[in-house]
Each structure stands twice: as structure tokens, then as C-alpha cells.
Structure 1
Amino acid sequence: MRWIAGGEFTMGSLAFYPEEAPLARVKVAGFWIDETPVTNRQFAAFVAATGHVTVAEIAPDPKDYPGMLPGMDRAGSLVFRKSAVPVGTDDPSRWWEFSFGADWRHPHGPDSSLDGLEDHPVVHIAWSDAAAYARWAGKDLPTEAEWEFAARGGLEGKDYAWGDELAPGGAMMANYWQGLFPFANTLADGWERTSPVRTYPANGYGLYDMIANVWEWTQDWWQENRKKGSDCCVVANPRGGKLKESFDPAQPQVRIGRKVIKGGSHLCAENYCQRYRPAARHPEMIDTSTSHIGFRCVKRG
């Protein structure tokens, strides 16, 4: 882990997506944070020690999901599938497939394995899985403010964790999608999916993969716009909304909370989801696991 001394920073952005507003001066106390996302190797040690079974490995109960389609009560998770032809980016079902048998041990589907992926970030992790690992390790999940402060690496007001240019001098600074998403990936960074941790340069705090590779869970319940503090004051480690406020208004029948995820992933592209930035944020239902969401932990005090 790396010690982050804490301090003040401007949280949020006005330049990209509305949910990143408003700007707010925020302060966080010092904390320790994992140098990298939790890897498959580390998660395997946790499972071996505890017998933990992830959400993706448990068949959903139809009673918990009214209207579930027949045959969907089987264990699995969402796996990215590149489209065969160029498609619009308005419908995620064009590139996400619910794959029966996909889980952290089988990241690309039931016939895949972790061979050669031991030092890649673990994926197909629901929020409760990340929280369980953190408890076992004597740690916690970061707040959104802690995560963003750490991701900025001491750079104030910059778009990216390394400055204001996405690929300075053509250098790939993180594992994101190059080309036309979700059809054509030029692989300028060398990776179609996840990459081993520490593949790209560390930020100013010595942290790796804060940006892209995999999205990372935080503690905070989602709220569409973060609340702005008083103009006279700096807000201390602000927290998100409440469980009932985090429900997806587009799915009023679904009463499952959403947490904030940060950092973007290898599926973020210039033509879709430019969220490979410290200020970027996105809601994710706590029961959902995918092939591009992982996590890292903090320890306070």
C-alpha cells in the first residue's frame, strides 16, 4: 500500500459529463491505499482462505427479480463481446452478453481460465465481493473523494491523472480502447482486454492503474450530482447519497442500490465513455458483476 498524506483538492469537472459537477473544494485525511487494483492472484488467496463464493457464482433467485425471463436463473456474469460491424453506442446490449458460467475464475466465459492472468485485476466482482475481501484484509473500500484525490496524484485541475493530454507525445498512459468502440480496437496500447497491473506508469503518488484497465468500486451510494458545499468552506471527505436515492429512475421496478465506480476501464474510448479520468464517475448496481469492474482497498489512520 501507499501512504497518501491527505490534503485539499478541487473535486469534479465541468468539461465532460454533467454528473461530474459541481466543482467543490474537498479535503481528505491521510490514508493508505493499495498500489494496484486487487489481482487474480490476491483474490484467489482470499477465496482459498475463506471459501468466499462470489455473486456471479450464485444462481439468482427469481423471487428477488420479478419478471425474470425463463432460464435466466443460472449463475453467470456480463462479458464484453466486440461487435462484428460498426454499431451505435446508444444500446449497451449490442456489446454486453450475460454469459452463464462467467465469473472471476472464468473472466471471458465458462471455457476461459486465469492462465496467464494471475497479475491482471480480478473482474466479475460485485460490490459485496469487494467489501468481503476488504474486511478479510483488514481494510476498507475508498470513498469517492479518497479515490479521486489518490487518482489525481497531486495534479490539481488536470483532465487526466498525468496532465491535460490523453496520449502525450503518442505515449499510452493507461489501458483504454483505441479506435471505434465497440467494433475496432487498434490495440495501440497492446491489450484487447485487461492488462497486468503496473504495465503503465504510476501517477504522482506511486499508484498504478487508477485510470482505465478496470472500473473500481467505492463506498459511496450514487447520487446524480454531488452536493456542493458552502462557498465559504472546504468539505471534509464528502459522502454520496442514500440507498433509496441511488435507485435507477429508468427502472422504477428495480429496488437495487447503485454505488459509485471510478476510473473507467479498457472499454472507455474517445467515441464512447471518456471516463478514463480522475473526476469521472458512474453508477453500478451492487448486485452486478462484469468483465471490466474490479476494486482496490484503503486503510485509514
Structure 2
Amino acid sequence: MGDAEGVGYPADREKPQVKLSMPAFEMDQTTVTIQQFKDFVEDTGYITDAEKYGWSYVFHLLLPEEERDKHPVLPRTTWWRAVEGAYWKKPEGLHSTIEDKLNHPVTHVSRNDAMAYCKWAGKRLPTEAEWEYAARSGYENNLYPWGNELVIEREHQCNIWQGKFPVENTKEDGYLGTAPVKTFKPNGYGLYQMAGNVWEWCLNPASISLSEFQSKEADYYLTNYSKDSDDEFDTRGGSFLCHSSYCNRYRVSARHKSSAASSTSNLGFRCVK
């Protein structure tokens, strides 16, 4: 587990690599879709953090051009807009819809929301160790879930950014925002889009040493970190906004983090058990 090529960010603590073993687990082939989350909400009446706050962060190019300057800008990352009324069912704000996106990953879900869904489904979030093991799909030091080449014979393997971030996306992979969850080829374990599309919440806190996974397994993190909070937790896999010039975190060893109550256009999750 960890960065073998020396291409990670030192602050992310991708190194030194560690060897570890873990109990067997099952992982969903895809991130949770909008349809699946819709079924959960209809069954339980669950209200997400974004709905409670009344807004969520939307990537600026997903908004109509005339709308982009009407919403507060996030300092230092000016491509984000705090859009009133944006949540999983209205991903670009009150006038947007999910009707043609039910097979896309659900977004605008906090870790707290993801944990609630997992409990309903009889599953849980993966630890980083489980996530990385699954993403590697049997390879030992591969950069990506499918190998070491980002593009194979001119065919894109994932949904990330092409062009000049964050102002121009040439959409060479076909997408400006999210793609349907089975758009690209699965990895060797049959898992779809472990790179790009949306960030995926993990069970463990952010920025812990990789060596901690040698002594602590999923039950420990589930027992100690299952309550609603706004602490920082790890996310994995990158998203449709990742680009080598800005966020080279669509690699299998790459680590990122968000506060547990955060919700954005590019943040989702998948389940394990």
C-alpha cells in the first residue's frame, strides 16, 4: 500500500509503502447511483446535510453561464460556487433535475449521509486499505486501476479533466461532469471507475499513517468513527475535476480528504461488507 513511484504529494502521506493483510470483503461494483440513493430516501425520509444547510458546492462550469456570478465563490478555489438549494436531487440548484441521470453517481452527499445509507443497506464504507487493495486489482505497484498508462491506444480509461483547468474542458473522454457509473471498462476485479468521476468517502480519518492499517482494521474505525461529525475523513479515487496540473490524485495510491459534513458536485461513495 502506498506510493511506489514517488509521484505523490508529501503532505498526503502516501509514503513509505507498507505491507499488510486484511480479512476478505465484498465491494460494490460501482459507486452508489442516484437511483439507489433515491430508493433509500423514499424508504426512510432521510434528509441530507446539504438540505439541512440549504446549499452545496457546485462546480462553476456546470451552471448556466448567466448564473455563475450570482453565487458566493469559495476563496482560493474559485471554481466552486455555493449554490442555494443544491443537493443530491437538484445537483446544480433548484432548477436542475436528476431525471436523465439516475445511473450517474449520487453527489452532494456528506460522509454522514453515506454512513446513513450504508447502515440502511446493511453495508459500510471501505477503509483506505480496502479501497486501495480493490483498486489495484491484483497489481502490486500500478499507477492506475488498469495499469500504468493513462490513455491506452487513444482510448480514455476514466473520467478526468482534459484541457486548461478550471476554465476549459475539451471533454475528450466525453464528459464535463459525472459519467454513468459503468461508462468505462472495469478493473481486473470487476470494479467500475475506481479512478475519476467522483471522490469516494472512506471509513477512516484523514492523513493517518499508512502503517496504522497494519494494526487496525475496519471494525476499529466503524466502532470509533461512526457518529455524525465535521472531522476530516479520507476520500479516494479522484474525480472529473482531477488534472495533472492541479490534482494528480486519480492514482490508486493517492489520498485526499474532506470534512465529514462537506458536499460537492464531485463527491460520492461506494459500499463494502
- TM-score normalised by the shorter chain: which range applies? 0.7 to 0.9
Once the two structures are superposed, residues 5-36 of structure 1 have per-residue CA deviations (whole angstroms, 9 ceiling, x without a partner) of xxxxx334432211211211121221011110
Structure 1 segments unaligned to the other structure (5+ residues): 1-9, 60-74, 85-90, 243-254
Identity between Structure 1 and Structure 2 (%)? 43
Residue 11 (structure 1) aligns with: 2
Residue 228 (structure 1) aligns with: 211
CA distance in 2, matches of 1:42, 1:76: 22
Q: Is the 8 A contact 2:158 2:184 kept in 1?
A: yes
The structure with more strand, counted as a fraction of residues: 1
Q: Is the 8 A contact 1:11 1:26 kept in 2?
A: no
CA distance in 2, matches of 1:274, 1:170: 20
Residue 82 (structure 1) aligns with: 61
Pick aligned residue for 2:18 from 10, 16, 24:
24
Q: Is the 8 A contact 2:37 2:106 kept in 1?
A: yes
CA distance in 2, matches of 1:103, 1:92: 23
Pick aligned residue for 1:296 from 264, 270, 273:
270
CA distance in 2, matches of 1:227, 1:154: 19
Once the two structures are superposed, residues 185-227 of structure 1 have per-residue CA deviations (whole angstroms, 9 ceiling, x without a partner) of 110011010000110000010000111100000000012x524
The alignment's TM-score, normalised by the length of structure 1, stands at: 0.79
Aligned residues: 253
Q: Which residues of 2 match residues 168-247 of structure 1 at below 5 A?
A: 168-223=152-207, 226-228=209-211, 235=214
The alignment's TM-score, normalised by the length of structure 2, stands at: 0.87
Structure 2 segments unaligned to the other structure (5+ residues): 66-74, 222-228
Residue 51 (structure 1) aligned with residue 45 (structure 2):
yes
What amino acid does structure 1 have at the position aligned with 2:174? Answer: G
Residue 87 (structure 1) aligns with: none
Q: Which residues of 2 match residues 58-207 of structure 1 at below 5 A?
A: 58-59=52-53, 75-82=54-61, 92-207=76-191
In structure 2, the CA distance between the partners of 1:182 and 1:154, relative to structure 1 (3 Å rule), is same
CA distance in 2, matches of 1:47, 1:228: 37
CA distance in 1, matches of 2:128, 2:204: 6
Q: Is the 8 A contact 2:237 2:250 kept in 1?
A: yes
CA distance in 1, matches of 2:116, 2:91: 20
- Which of these two proteins has the greater Rg computed from alpha carbons? 1
Once the two structures are superposed, residues 89-130 of structure 1 have per-residue CA deviations (whole angstroms, 9 ceiling, x without a partner) of xx6431001100000001112211102100000000001100
Deviating above 4 A after TM superposition, structure 1's stretches of 4 or more consecutive aligned residues are 236-239
Q: CA RMSD in A?
A: 2.3
The structure with more helix, counted as a fraction of residues: 2
Q: Is the 8 A contact 1:26 1:238 kept in 2?
A: no
